[in-house]
Amino acid sequence: MQIPTRTDAIAIARQRGDRIAGVLPIHYPRALLRAHGVQPIEIWAPPRQDPTAGNAQFQAYACAIVRHGAALLLDGPGRDVDVILVPHTCDALQGLGSVLLDFIKPRQPVLTLYHPRGRRQADRLFLERELRRLGDRLQAVTGRQPGDAELHAAIDTEEAANERLARLCLRQSPAALSDRERYTLVRSREYLPAETFITLVDARLPERQEDAGRPAQDGARRPVRLMLGGIVPEPMSVFDAINGMGAAVVADDLACGSRRLYKRTRGPDPYARLADSLMSGPPDPTLGSPIAERAEYLTTRMRESGARGLLVYDVKFCEPELFDLPQLRDRLSAERLPMLHVEFETATTIAQQTLNRIEAFVEMLQ
Amino acid sequence: MNLPAQLSYAVGYGLVGKAALWRQRRKDERAILARMRQPSGQLLAPPLLSSARMKELMSRHYLQARYATGVRKVAWVTSGAPVEILQALGFLLIYPENHAALCGARRKAVDMCVEAEHAGYSRDLCSYARTDIGTVISGKAPITRIPKPDLLLCCTNICQTVLYWYRVLAHHFKVPLIVIDTPFLFEEAQAHQIDFVKQQLEEAIPVAEQVAGRTLSFPTLKDVVHAGKRASELWLEVLNRAQHRPAPITAFDGFTNMGPIVDLRGEPETIRFYETLLAEVDRRIETGVGAVANERMRVLWDNLPIWYRMGWLSGLLAQRGVSIVASDYTYAWGELAPMMDPDRPIESAARVYLHPILNRSTGNKLHSMRRMAKDFQCDGVILHSDRSCKPYSLGQIAQRDWLANEVGVPAFLLEADHSDSRAFSEEQAGNRLEAFIELMEARG
């Protein structure tokens, strides 16, 4: 079964009678949108999007997610979405959301979501109320008011898809799927309905299948096992490049990947479940997780997966990512887990300079 | 409390330090008075006499901080933080942003930024944060020695950057971090947002009490809020005096004299300082003294100052008869005064600290700029595109276009950084400013 493209997913959703939401990164309640008949299609710095229209609105020191994302909404296929959702992930996306609302004023409604920066009871209560506010806005846009049963059903379906995502992200061996295949599948979660995603993952990586991978060919050197961190791996050819250097991605700390491994929830109130779910993910700098907590999580994941080094592959100007790095490096270094940080400007190719640094890192780990 | 520290505090700060700073103030005042007596013909009016008092106040604050370890509990706080609770608990408050601004103004910031960069902090991060982190990591004291914190208080109402920055500090110092998370107001504040901030403030009290080792006195808190409100009102009055023609003060005077309203808000002597400053500004109005001798054009400044080029910028503009009469940045510490209610300190703080200009939409900021441009009769607006401050800067392109095209006020983007001079080109900035002034002149 082929993985549908974003274009396919939009066409299928339209046939189903769903509306399309263009959603900026990172965390949002998919189930709430689906229950309102809205299919989220996420926008993560598409490398093929000409950023000119975004550059006309934002300074060069705004990250590519903002500039390319704005361009896609203003001058690309994003013009055709029915609603735009901008989660308040960082100062840059705050700026994008605010400029859309106050100045650009696209024909589509622009919705926002503030995710609290802690995991205290006050945060949890606020998030629940914030989600109810978002639900009210979605109702105003779609004219639909899903009942509790519909909301619970949508949450159950999304949680089943989250489990498939966990299967992809947590049981990684170098050869069961190629890295690019695996992360193409992981990233299809950005736009596919949960039902389609579940079917795809079940077909490619059945639950009971040992994910031990194909045995290495005689004489072939075992790949260097890496953990990949950052916001989004663009262009996806980065995985081919990593494999070509004799390395494999066996774990990730990607915002578009493992940082969205939300846990199963229970309870009678669907909005409480949505809040619990969004607050159940792994440590994330954009959510204010303490650095020690992140370091502990990364160390554990690297030990579990056998990763020998952490490659942080970051979109340039990503402040939430940049602040943690020195202290994370110190902690990982104490655990004899080397870390390399490289930055990229979103484009369809990767700078040779960046590739050289990654290659040197892989060679060091060999 | 330890006895040697108390003794050192009493002598170093209480006896010797305060007296030395008082003498220095008198000397500074005599120098300013001498400049005032010089024949006119200068492009800029002499410094305000009150600025010597401001220097004494701020120097005393930092001197007190230098001797505080072991004597007073120290909290490091963000510039928009709800500090009244900590003040009422007796904490000595340190504002790393203010310290970084001082480093910027004295051209010490880049050295500290480089220290942080050597430790792995990217040059793309806020230069205030890099200056502070560089100071902490290196142990150097570019201005004065800053005491280690017993508590960190971070409020996200100015940016998310402070959250990441204070997490670094919390990890480094291993002290409690209180986060007051203020949801960004894309539109008017809603009940659940106010409730959220109020609940966090209430939950912060026992944490701060535990570190302080004492219980919060609500009458004291009420007094602190009252003093903060009065100081903020006075500050706003001072700034609004620049609506007169010629403007008796410029935004540069505002940048220079904002230290007490940021760092010492809620202190009785801050009220006295701004009363004195207001009286001096009124005397300038009465005698027709303009801050810029030949004021021909009036401009609004958006965003933080370029701390390390204030003298160059004010001189260049004064040569052309341009007076920067207002700044939405300095205004931020005054405009929320009406929301402060000493009788409802927590509830009103929840509202106040949700509403700084930086926690409100880009459209709201445009609205403020339009209002200020009208009230201060501005001929143009300079938007400092500050590489270090994304929440202030993103949206400026649209704001500039609206000001120019919809409001009819010339506006232009000046690329710089508030503290890192490596991101500033004087030649390029000067050329662009000249072109902007010519544009304003052409419009008459």
In degrees and rounded to multiples of 5, residue A343 shows phi and psi of -120, 150
Q: How far is A4 from chain B (nearest CA, A)?
A: 35
Q: Taking CA atoms, what residue in A is nearest to B155?
A: A117
Q: Taking CA atoms, what residue in A is nearest to B361?
A: A98
Mutate to test the interface with B, among A24, A84, A99 (most CBs of B within 10 A): A99
For range A182-202, the mean pLDDT: 97
Q: How far apart are CA A304 and CA A36, in angstroms?
A: 39
> To the nearest whole percent, how much of chain A has pLDDT over 90?
89
Q: How far is A30 from chain B (nearest CA, A)?
A: 21
Contact at CB, A59 and B393, closer than 8 angstroms: yes
Inter-chain CB pairs, A–B, below 8 Å: 152
DSSP 3-state assignment of A358?
helix
List, in order, residues 6 or more apart from A246 with CB less than 8 Å away: A221, A223, A224, A362, A366
Contact at CB, A57 and B398, closer than 8 angstroms: yes
Q: How far apart are CA B185 and CA B157, in angstroms?
A: 10
Query: Is the confidence at residue A214, as pLDDT, over 50?
Result: no
Longest dimension (CA), chain B: 68
Query: Is the confidence at residue B9, as pLDDT, over 90?
Result: yes
Cβ neighbours of B200 in A, within 8 Å: 120, 122
For A104, other C-beta atoms within 10 Å of its C-beta total 15
Q: How far apart are CA A133 and CA B373, in angstroms?
A: 35
Q: For B384, left (φ over 0), alpha (ψ -120 to 50), or beta?
A: beta
Q: How far apart are CA A117 and CA B183, in angstroms?
A: 9
Mutate to test the interface with A, among B138, B154, B160, B413 (most CBs of A within 10 A): B160
Structure tokens at B315: 């001189």
Per residue in B378-418, pLDDT tens? 999 999 999 999 999 999 999 999 999 999 999 999 999 99
In this complex, the residue of A59, A130, A322 whose CB is nearest that of residue B192 is A130
What is the spatial order of strands in the sheet that A19-23 belongs to? A38-42, A19-23, A83-88, A110-114
Q: What is the pLDDT of residue A206?
A: 77
Q: What is the pLDDT of residue A211?
A: 47
Q: How far apart are CA B254 and CA B89, in angstroms?
A: 30
As a whole number, the mean pLDDT across chain A is 94
For range B270-278, the mean pLDDT: 98
- What ipTM was predicted for this assembly? 0.95
Beta strands in chain A (DSSP E): 19-23, 38-42, 83-88, 110-114, 224-230, 247-254, 309-315, 339-344
Q: How far is A159 from chain B (nearest CA, A)?
A: 27
Contact at CB, B124 and A319, closer than 8 angstroms: yes
For B195, other C-beta atoms within 10 Å of its C-beta total 16
Contact at CB, A98 and B395, closer than 8 angstroms: yes
Per residue in B225-258, pLDDT tens? 999 999 999 999 999 999 999 999 999 999 999 9
Q: How far is B403 from chain A (nearest CA, A)?
A: 12
Q: How far apart are CA A68 and CA A49, in angstroms?
A: 6
| One-letter-per-residue 3-state SS of chain B | CCHHHHHHHHHHHHHHHHHHHHHHHHHHHHHHHHHHHCCCCCCECCCCCHHHHHHHHHHHHHHHHHCCCCCCCEEEECCCCCCHHHHHCCCEEECHHHHHHHHHHCCCHHHHHHHHHHCCCCCCCCHHHHHHHHHHHHCCCCCCCCCCCCEEEEECCCCCHHHHHHHHHHHHHCCCEEEECCCCECCCCCHHHHHHHHHHHHHHHHHHHHHHCCCCCHHHHHHHHHHHHHHHHHHHHHHHHHHCCCCCCCHHHHHHHCHHHHHCCCCHHHHHHHHHHHHHHHHHHHHCCCCECCCCEEEEEECCCCHHHHHHHHHHHHHCCEEEEEEHHHHCCCCCHHHCCCCCHHHHHHHHCCCCHHHECHHHHHHHHHHHHHHCCCCEEEEEEECCCHHHHCCHHHHHHHHHHHHCCCEEEEEECCCCHHHCCHHHHHHHHHHHHHHHHHCC
Cβ neighbours of A291 in B, within 8 Å: 167-168, 170-171
Q: What is the pLDDT of residue B41?
A: 75
For range B89-99, the mean pLDDT: 97
Q: What is the pLDDT of residue B38?
A: 82
As a whole number, the mean pLDDT across chain B is 96
For range A268-291, the mean pLDDT: 97
**Matching residue, tokens 């900026």:** A24
pLDDT band at B139 (very low <50, low <70, confident <90, very high): very high
Q: Taking CA atoms, what residue in B is nearest to A102?
A: B363
Q: How far is A61 from chain B (nearest CA, A)?
A: 7
In this complex, the residue of B120, B183, B390 whose CB is nearest that of residue A95 is B390
Contact at CB, A319 and B164, closer than 8 angstroms: yes
Contact at CB, B394 and A96, closer than 8 angstroms: yes
Q: Taking CA atoms, what residue in A is nearest to B367?
A: A102
In this complex, the residue of A120, A129, A291 whose CB is nearest that of residue B171 is A291
Q: In chain B, what are the domain boundaries?
A: 3-442
Contact at CB, A102 and B361, closer than 8 angstroms: yes
pLDDT band at A54 (very low <50, low <70, confident <90, very high): very high
Q: Taking CA atoms, what residue in B is nearest to A54?
A: B397
Q: How far apart are CA A26 and CA A285, in angstroms?
A: 11
Give this prediction's pTM.
0.95
Q: Taking CA atoms, what residue in B is nearest to A324?
A: B168
Cβ(A254)–Cβ(A232) under 8 Å?
A: yes
Q: Which of A169-178, B87-96, B421-430 has the lowest mean pLDDT?
A: A169-178
Mutate to test the interface with A, among B130, B133, B171, B420 (most CBs of A within 10 A): B171
Cβ neighbours of A290 in B, within 8 Å: 167, 170-171
Contact at CB, A62 and B394, closer than 8 angstroms: yes
Q: How far apart are CA A84 and CA B338, in angstroms?
A: 36
Q: What is the pLDDT of residue A215?
A: 43
In degrees and rounded to multiples of 5, residue B19 shows phi and psi of -65, -40
Cβ neighbours of A59 in B, within 8 Å: 385, 387, 393-394, 396-397
Longest dimension (CA), chain A: 63
Contact at CB, B391 and A56, closer than 8 angstroms: no
Cβ(B318)–Cβ(B247) under 8 Å?
A: no
Q: How far is CA A334 from the centre of its chain?
A: 29
